Structure 1
């Protein structure tokens, strides 16, 4: 057995063959390790080589807390250690890997730039001579800080399926700007920010001296946008620019000679790369006004900075420093800038790169579409002949490759190319009719610089996308592309659940819901495979329910639930994404975690889990109740989020939907405590829930409007916003009773036009729960057809994060949503099975099951719901005549099946039992 873990990630090879990759995300104090049975792969009587590629992020993000780079591994058999990491191991920096490659996003680590000419070929093979490699440094034994506890991996290994593209969408001759750079401004301006992932703000400028040999037009490009007051050239603020937001392009007619360019970078920065580019027909050079360290830029400032933690009010960054205000006009030249010399700093070379794939793809100074030669298609076909890419005398060759569906995993290729040929890869999720939705805020790219001849490469960085821009630059001869593919990597699931009915649109919606859920199942549930890859706690409650019906997996759910209390060292209110270095709390996300804990214990009948998690639930509820103010309502600062729509949910004050979900969390905690054998401990919570519900009805109901207000602001101003979100939650959580419940039930079918409407599929999940409770399944189907039908209309293979109903949801008319693959949006995967097929858990652990079909306007439906202890419930129903339903149920013989049919419908019921 080989046991291994690393900070931050590893790829493991045995005798040159990849064995696996890991570890799963961890809190450093509880570092997970992986175990591989390698006995069958060892070569008896021969030299065997263990080789590990270790990737250390070096910065904290939303799924990693910064530690020291390190590897620990052991090979053992029969209790005897055969090998273990120590000073006898050899180590070397990966040749050709450029550690100043662009930061992908605040949520993630780094894209990669690799020069294969410097790679040690066959370094993982037994025959490789590592004699010149230095010995590794042993830094300590297992249990040293910060990895104080090593824990065995708690879920199966992820899949790696080699999938080929579906088509080549286009071939173009393209050009990139003459100069393009990616900058890590956050860590340049606030170096200590590598240790956390909180937003920071800073006040200052980036400066460069642009020297033109002759006069001419120059375009300054900002493919990811600009901040602050904008761009100053020779002391003049530039007010005219072009570009669809966030892009900005300033076209200037400049004289020969030197020009000082100042870019105001003042503002908030959560992390990621900023992109700066220049293009001109005139020859130009750049130099830094801070001296020559190889980087032609300098920064000025920071004149002030601040850190923004957990959406709490704090000291605001000051932007009235006299030097900051005066500098642009007072320093129109590099010489004049010397008066501000104490503020001017060289740009750290490790935070700067001119290998800017994102900027060169977003800003193409030429894009000339060409027909795709038949021979090029060989690159995506299983044939021995390669795809031969054309060479353009003036320009680069760009392929746009369609995988056919959204994918998540590791890009790989094999090709023949001249040495020095550049291969740029850039993944996006959505294209249509000439529009490309660029991944602003995500540098979803890599650059591979070829050595001579035939070679292959697999990126070690996970990416999510559907369309891949593959651009060949600087090749002196045609590149032969033998294959391009993705190793799709997800949690290992079998397609145990199913749903089909008489409506093809609903069937397609169920399928994209399943595919979305799968792509968002990694070592935890993640919100999306492209932009973030982050385990958001609240999202996972709904994702777990969908998973129960489409895949039936339980280990990943329990792992997610167990990770959350690890954030108690940061806050007893628990973080909204874990494990994370962003100190952010969304109270609703903690409440959803409590609901998910109860639902998991009920779904599985796992009382051991309930007993283990109950103290953590009790702990956080106790601390949330400490934020009940004198009015009797939850009143706290935090990220008080529920939906992207423009509801009134300030980050300070009394937010109604938050109070409502606290009521439900307190009530659900009683059932969880009962399963844990500690029912009496939750009695006080149940009593507090009833008191809180009474106060909500007394304070937050508006009798004139016949609705609950959205909030009471910190200044005690009552909100004048009324939203469907708040009414739905009041109904769903059982706080609206009697006449008020009836009023809101009417709103479910006829939402008042003046109310803010639902803006995301995430909120639709709660809306569908409310419709199910009200017995209004027909409205649910109408809503699914309308909103998910819109996604399918635009060729969606996965569910969108948002509905394109509000200006807040998009920055231009073509951008229908931010993320095109978001598991919080996969509600139909759950409700079509639970509500329309009609399969619901009765007693905990599915000891009983309730079958209650809701045909609505359908003529037939069939499907399978997997069970947590193994086996399944299979149901099919169809109308054999008007008002008569034929129903067949297949279930384990140890489960009690309760059947109920809609009022006015007769049934012919057949039940088949089997042994499990």
Structure 2
């Protein structure tokens, strides 16, 4: 690991600027210049120690040296150590420049505190350490001149989309020659250790990669005309009780309204992308939800309206989680919208919208009983609709006593690049000229974007496969041209799957001439839709690239076999896992980028076999107990401001802790984590009922499938996983040398196992029922998911186990089938326990093969042909890159190559290939202490005939093959570091 810990006290102070402690979506620049001493002698190194709230990009003399920090809980913020000695100019003026993105809102990877920057540059000469510069009042700061903070959230999980005005952007602000005399003096917040960042923690993983990726082709060109009016409205912020410190769901009753002004009579079309939409009033007409045209998730209204002003009002109820609502208006004559309250209020620019209400709102916490609040909300929805329906003007609304307030421009405006992507009145397709196709080849000539009369120019870049990182481009244009960059994951023929729920856009306004922009906002996509708006002459694009950024794990793992489709499946599993390894494992690089705790257990196992990374796994596992201040049940995604609990995710975390401790042989880790595991288990065991069953409220999830897993009651798979968690805690106690602490867990596991078999088994169906609902009603639904977990955990024994084992390859009629690749991981584990390798291979070919048949380069969140209720048949899944789905990356190495650990730290290794219907296979499995094991085997007529194993000298091999198989073992020496 290349990161460092600071061994001497900090001299730097936390600094910020402006009048607000935590401004919404503010990008702020910081600079200082200094003369680097000429006589530094034998300079060994110079370290820039740095961290910021929320994220930073640091530069030395115009050269970017790093991004950070890694995600953190505010009380324990991580700092970075960048070696920058090679960038310093001795005897000359040097400049440190830092761009800080402060979110100002909480999300699923950040808990809101105040903005701040802490930095210190130390030089090391021999045994002497010299501080050259540190943050304080001598630093200058300015709000980023070209960034518009009045933009929509990317998603409820992320911060904000991006709008940059190149006319205001100073590209040279990181250089010493730039003058910052007009910038303000930075304000000192306090020394290192000041609240809220009371503990500074050295970065615990290496820095992420930065690997340029170029597009492979331009695949379409079109002239497009968007709706006349489009806008976003930040409903979550406007309807929520004051405060951005949490990101929990809200339930509310409210409405939004605006005035449409028509120049002449025309047919008006209104498109709404609104959660909780119930009724819409347009002029004198009231539309119920049933009367709206539905093109899910969009809803449309068409109405012939005369010239003049018309009220547009629609209700919204939630639940809302932070995504922005959107509206588009179009017609054949001029249409404008306006607020009845004016364009400015107390000096603040206002949007055309007003907010009505909310008449009722509450913040939901999923694992706490809030049934009374929910019932009140349901009743208020009915009352609110009945009372608002007859009101035909804002005067009527005010007279009825509803609060009506103007919506600030910062929370709703037409500077929205996402709605125009699908709110189009015209789209005319053209062939792609060679001059534009140059964008996708290494040519010194620029790509030429043609200009269309009476419309904008849209083209789509294909980057060949999905990627995760940062967008960069260089172009030449006239001033004032709007260029929208919009990343998507999937298209087929002429169909585009828009990222509803994710505003994956960057809007850039050009200045005159050549310009370059490097986005600091992480995003994921395969295709990039580029729309050039308002150009009168061709835009010349000289460079478009995507900087792929992920955890720097070497691509050691390999798998090849006689089945080309299985090879492709393994490849996309590996690529998916790579893209979902950031500063933690993340569920996906596009929609969320969130560290979901349960997902990471499976992702860690796939990583062990494809990359061999261990530091990222330990970092993830150690982060989880940091959510204890929110709940002792631990959060299902961390660090996050959504206080949400999926009990199984905590149980999977316990499993992952044991697997990591054994994978690495790290007994110190086992001892560190044991008390944290016992703490959360105690909280869960307090929720056992008198029958010794876990009976609780929570997000009681296992699979995206129509199984019976209510959010309150006795859920069978959850009780099964609690047994597993208790068993695994006992195992880690043994590894930590504290077996007595594990003995209590074993006792509780036996009690719970007995209770499950007594109360949750159905003799009539020969299976475990899915749940017992709150109040005692036994579920009539039986699922394969529940049976799989009963077998996997070992709760089903004897005749019951034998019966359930038959179901693995012959699902009983009426049983809910496996619904997602995530659940398939546990299904495959159970198949391997039962020796059904051929069944597993066939399942992979069918389900993952369907992805390949639909041009997948990464594994989907869902299979696409199973249980998802899709409004559009072309939307085969939401996320097209989800590492919880990458099971083949593990199972093909662990069971087809047959390489598995037999002792902590892989000091003993099992080699037990399963050939199925394959004639050969070969591959590489990384080892946690370095090195790898290579396996090559061949089979003939279903019998293994030869096996070649290459392994380090220190690894004891347990080779399990037929006696007739020719075995060759090659040993390599291990280099000790």
Q: TM-score, normalised by structure 2?
A: 0.92
Correspondent of 2:366 among 310, 320, 323: 310
* 1:759 is aligned to 2:809: no
Structure 1 residues 347 and 739: alpha-carbon distance in aligned structure 2, compared to 1, 3 A threshold: same
Deviates more, 1:312-321 or 1:671-680: 312-321
Kept after mapping to 2: 8 A contact 1:262/1:328: no
* 1:694 is aligned to 2:754: yes
Kept after mapping to 2: 8 A contact 1:848/1:896: yes
Aligned match of 1:625: 685
SS in 2 for 1:365: strand
SS in 1 for 2:209: coil
Aligned match of 1:177: 227
Deviates more, 1:330-339 or 1:161-170: 330-339
SS in 2 for 1:425: strand
Correspondent of 1:271 among 306, 322, 335: 322
Deviation at 1:121, TM superposition (A): 3.4
SS in 1 for 2:696: coil
* Number of residue equivalences: 913
Deviates more, 1:324-333 or 1:588-597: 324-333
Whole-Å Cα distance in 1 between the matches of residues 847 and 381 of structure 2? 50
Kept after mapping to 1: 8 A contact 2:208/2:583: yes
1:195-226 deviation digits (Å, cap 9, x = unpaired) = 2110001111101111212111111111x345
* 1:387 is aligned to 2:437: no
Deviates more, 1:77-86 or 1:473-482: 77-86
Aligned match of 1:911: 969
SS in 1 for 2:681: helix
Counterpart mapping for 1:273-352 below 5 A: 273-293=324-344, 294-314=350-370, 315-316=373-374, 317=377, 319-320=379-380, 324-340=384-400, 342-352=402-412
Whole-Å Cα distance in 1 between the matches of residues 154 and 742 of structure 2? 44
Kept after mapping to 1: 8 A contact 2:223/2:452: yes
Aligned match of 1:601: 661
Structure 1 residues 342 and 263: alpha-carbon distance in aligned structure 2, compared to 1, 3 A threshold: closer
Whole-Å Cα distance in 1 between the matches of residues 381 and 502 of structure 2? 32
Aligned match of 2:245: 195
Whole-Å Cα distance in 1 between the matches of residues 609 and 401 of structure 2? 64
Aligned match of 1:63: 109
Correspondent of 2:922 among 862, 885, 894: 862
Correspondent of 1:157 among 200, 207, 216: 207
Whole-Å Cα distance in 2 between the matches of residues 19 and 740 of structure 1? 60
* 1:398 is aligned to 2:458: yes
Kept after mapping to 2: 8 A contact 1:380/1:483: no
Aligned match of 2:285: 236
SS in 2 for 1:749: coil
Aligned match of 1:716: 776
Aligned match of 2:17: none
Unaligned runs of 5+ in 1: none
Aligned match of 1:372: 432
1:521-564 deviation digits (Å, cap 9, x = unpaired) = 00000000000000000000000000000001100000000000
Structure 1 residues 510 and 809: alpha-carbon distance in aligned structure 2, compared to 1, 3 A threshold: farther
Aligned match of 2:87: 41
Whole-Å Cα distance in 1 between the matches of residues 380 and 242 of structure 2? 24
Deviation at 1:318, TM superposition (A): 5.2
Whole-Å Cα distance in 1 between the matches of residues 532 and 90 of structure 2? 44
Correspondent of 2:297 among 246, 254, 258: 246
* 1:896 is aligned to 2:952: no
Whole-Å Cα distance in 1 between the matches of residues 385 and 556 of structure 2? 63
Kept after mapping to 1: 8 A contact 2:72/2:110: yes
Correspondent of 1:362 among 422, 440, 448: 422
Bigger strand fraction: 2
* 1:729 is aligned to 2:789: yes
Whole-Å Cα distance in 2 between the matches of residues 882 and 651 of structure 1? 48
Kept after mapping to 1: 8 A contact 2:898/2:913: yes
Kept after mapping to 2: 8 A contact 1:290/1:344: no
Kept after mapping to 2: 8 A contact 1:787/1:803: yes
* 1:501 is aligned to 2:561: yes
Whole-Å Cα distance in 1 between the matches of residues 867 and 773 of structure 2? 24
Correspondent of 2:591 among 531, 539, 558: 531
Aligned match of 2:142: 92
Aligned match of 2:51: 5
Structure 1 residues 858 and 882: alpha-carbon distance in aligned structure 2, compared to 1, 3 A threshold: closer
Aligned match of 2:172: 122
SS in 1 for 2:864: coil
Aligned match of 2:260: 210
Deviation at 1:322, TM superposition (A): 9.2
Whole-Å Cα distance in 1 between the matches of residues 382 and 969 of structure 2? 81
SS in 1 for 2:237: helix
Correspondent of 2:852 among 792, 795, 800: 792
Correspondent of 2:650 among 555, 576, 590: 590
Structure 1 residues 417 and 93: alpha-carbon distance in aligned structure 2, compared to 1, 3 A threshold: same
Deviation at 1:637, TM superposition (A): 0.6
Kept after mapping to 1: 8 A contact 2:317/2:381: no
Deviation at 1:691, TM superposition (A): 1.1
Deviation at 1:340, TM superposition (A): 3.9
Unaligned runs of 5+ in 2: 1-46, 345-349
Whole-Å Cα distance in 1 between the matches of residues 205 and 476 of structure 2? 39
Kept after mapping to 2: 8 A contact 1:525/1:535: yes
* 1:658 is aligned to 2:718: yes
Deviates more, 1:377-386 or 1:150-159: 377-386
Kept after mapping to 1: 8 A contact 2:76/2:197: yes
SS in 2 for 1:376: helix
Aligned match of 2:727: 667
Whole-Å Cα distance in 1 between the matches of residues 558 and 378 of structure 2? 57
Deviation at 1:89, TM superposition (A): 0.3
SS in 2 for 1:40: helix
1:600-649 deviation digits (Å, cap 9, x = unpaired) = 00000011111111110111111111111101111111100000011100
Whole-Å Cα distance in 2 between the matches of residues 131 and 492 of structure 1? 40
Aligned match of 1:835: 895
What's the C-alpha RMSD, in Å, of the aligned pairs? 1.4
Correspondent of 2:185 among 114, 117, 135: 135
Aligned match of 1:566: 626
Deviation at 1:418, TM superposition (A): 0.5
Structure 1 residues 813 and 318: alpha-carbon distance in aligned structure 2, compared to 1, 3 A threshold: closer
Deviates more, 1:598-607 or 1:213-222: 213-222
Kept after mapping to 2: 8 A contact 1:406/1:798: yes
Whole-Å Cα distance in 2 between the matches of residues 115 and 883 of structure 1? 66
Whole-Å Cα distance in 2 between the matches of residues 752 and 104 of structure 1? 43
Whole-Å Cα distance in 1 between the matches of residues 944 and 867 of structure 2? 47
SS in 2 for 1:409: strand
Q: TM-score, normalised by structure 1?
A: 0.98
Deviates more, 1:720-729 or 1:115-124: 115-124
Counterpart mapping for 1:401-550 below 5 A: 401-550=461-610
SS in 2 for 1:194: coil
Aligned match of 2:163: 113
Deviation at 1:319, TM superposition (A): 4.8
1:173-216 deviation digits (Å, cap 9, x = unpaired) = 00111111111111112252522110001111101111212111
Counterpart mapping for 1:740-819 below 5 A: 740-806=800-866, 808-819=868-879
Whole-Å Cα distance in 2 between the matches of residues 353 and 579 of structure 1? 31
Kept after mapping to 2: 8 A contact 1:2/1:36: yes
Deviates more, 1:74-83 or 1:94-103: 74-83
Deviates more, 1:876-885 or 1:699-708: 876-885
Deviates more, 1:752-761 or 1:881-890: 881-890
Kept after mapping to 2: 8 A contact 1:304/1:318: no
Deviates more, 1:377-386 or 1:458-467: 377-386
Whole-Å Cα distance in 2 between the matches of residues 321 and 783 of structure 1? 46
Kept after mapping to 2: 8 A contact 1:759/1:805: no
